[in-house]
Amino acid sequence: MNFSDPFEALLGLQRALDAYRSSNWLGSGTSGGGAFPPINVFRKGDTFVAVTEVPGIKKSDIDIQIEGNTIRLAGTKSIDYSGKASIHRRERLAGRFDRAITIPVEIDTERVKAEYQDGILSISLPPHEREKPRSIKIS
Amino acid sequence: MDEAQSLAVQQKKVIEEGKGEKTVPSRYYVPNADIYETDDALTIVLEVPGVERKDLSVSLENDVLRIEGQIDFSKYDGFEPVYSEYNVGHFARAFTLSDKIDPEGISAASEDGVLTLTLKKSRQAAPRRIAIQ
């Protein structure tokens, strides 16, 4: 089992950076951080993978759009209480969401794959051919 | 903005060390829960994103209903994190049940990272009219 925690280290750094930015030293940012759904981005080889937690949202209620290097996630989370139930505790939230994130490379939209399982949406974002390094022979 | 409000991110609440009495050194979070009651049952709905059905466990002992969900971290093998907005960990939560619940009548279902537990009320809990002597 792996006890080192890359999430914690990165999240701590990210929070520090966010705090720094929100202190208005650098003016307003553009990342859209803090919006729903929260997104983690990973790199596997040269492919980026965006993973997001959307428990209780149906596959059909999520709309994914990709253009250039921007991914837009929009949809609705609805919570259905059966008929005349009396609610004792309500911690889950329902509502609309619509956010975009930008990754640093152009995405090959033809090869994007999205998987949804157990409330986790995982979008694999391969870079466009134009982003691949080319070796140039010296004549 | 129309009638549906826009969703906010809910920060995950970590289970304090010593309170959850965990023997393995990994992080546990408290899953968000809704509890509602109908005439014949109590329903508990818990959000456990990323937990597969086989990694969910629900147990009842001494009137304590304990729910645990384990994350399979091997799915992240070979993934190098580059940007992070949420933390990933197992889930655990326990509820103390009143004697109104029939321990034999508990059923569970999971879909899209949401675990729904239906707890049937026992016969005794159904309203009873008491005759005055």
- pLDDT tens-digit series, residues B46-74: 999 999 999 999 999 888 999 999 999 99
pLDDT the model gives residue B132: 82
Distant-in-sequence contacts of B25-29, Cβ < 8 A, 24+ apart: B25/A3, B26/A1, B26/A3, B26/B89, B26/B90, B27/A5, B27/A8, B27/B87, B27/B89, B27/B90, B28/B89, B28/B90, B28/B91, B28/B92, B29/B87, B29/B89, B29/B90, B29/B91, B29/B92
DSSP A13-44: HHHHHHHHHHTTSS----S-TTBSSPEEEEEE
pLDDT the model gives residue B2: 44
Q: Please report residues of A whose CB lies closer than 8 A to that of B76.
A: 42
In a domain, A118, yes or no: yes
B113/A118 Cβ within 8 A: yes
Higher pLDDT, B75 or A35: B75
In a domain, A111, yes or no: yes
pLDDT the model gives residue B25: 65
The residue of A53, A60, A62 whose CB has the most chain B CBs within 10 angstroms, and thus the best one to mutate to test that interface, is A53
Q: Please report residues of A whose CB lies closer than 8 A to that of B87.
A: 7-8, 11
In a domain, A113, yes or no: yes
Q: Please report residues of B whose CB lies closer than 8 A to that of A87.
A: 34-37
Indicate the number of domains in chain A.
1
pLDDT the model gives residue B36: 92
- Residue A75 distance to chain B (closest CA, Å): 10
In a domain, A126, yes or no: yes
pLDDT the model gives residue A76: 93
A39/B112 Cβ within 8 A: no
CATH number (domain holding residue A110)? 2.60.40.790
In a domain, A124, yes or no: yes
A95/B5 Cβ within 8 A: yes
Q: Please report residues of B whose CB lies closer than 8 A to that of A33.
A: 85
Run means of pLDDT, 10 residues per run, chain A, 139 residues: 68 76 48 76 91 94 92 91 82 91 88 95 92 83
In a domain, A112, yes or no: yes
Q: Which of A2, A41, A82 lies closest to B73 in CB terms? A: A2
- pLDDT of residue B5 exceeding 80: no
Instruction: Find how far residue B107's CA is from the centre of its chain.
Output: 13
Average pLDDT, chain B: 85
B25/A119 Cβ within 8 A: no
Average pLDDT over residues B94-113: 89
Domain range for A100: 31-78+95-132
A37/B9 Cβ within 8 A: yes
Higher pLDDT, A15 or B29: B29
In a domain, A69, yes or no: yes
- Residue A92 distance to chain B (closest CA, Å): 6
* Banded pLDDT at B108 (limits 50, 70, 90): very high
pLDDT the model gives residue A26: 41
- pLDDT of residue B105 exceeding 90: no
In a domain, A55, yes or no: yes
B81/A40 Cβ within 8 A: yes
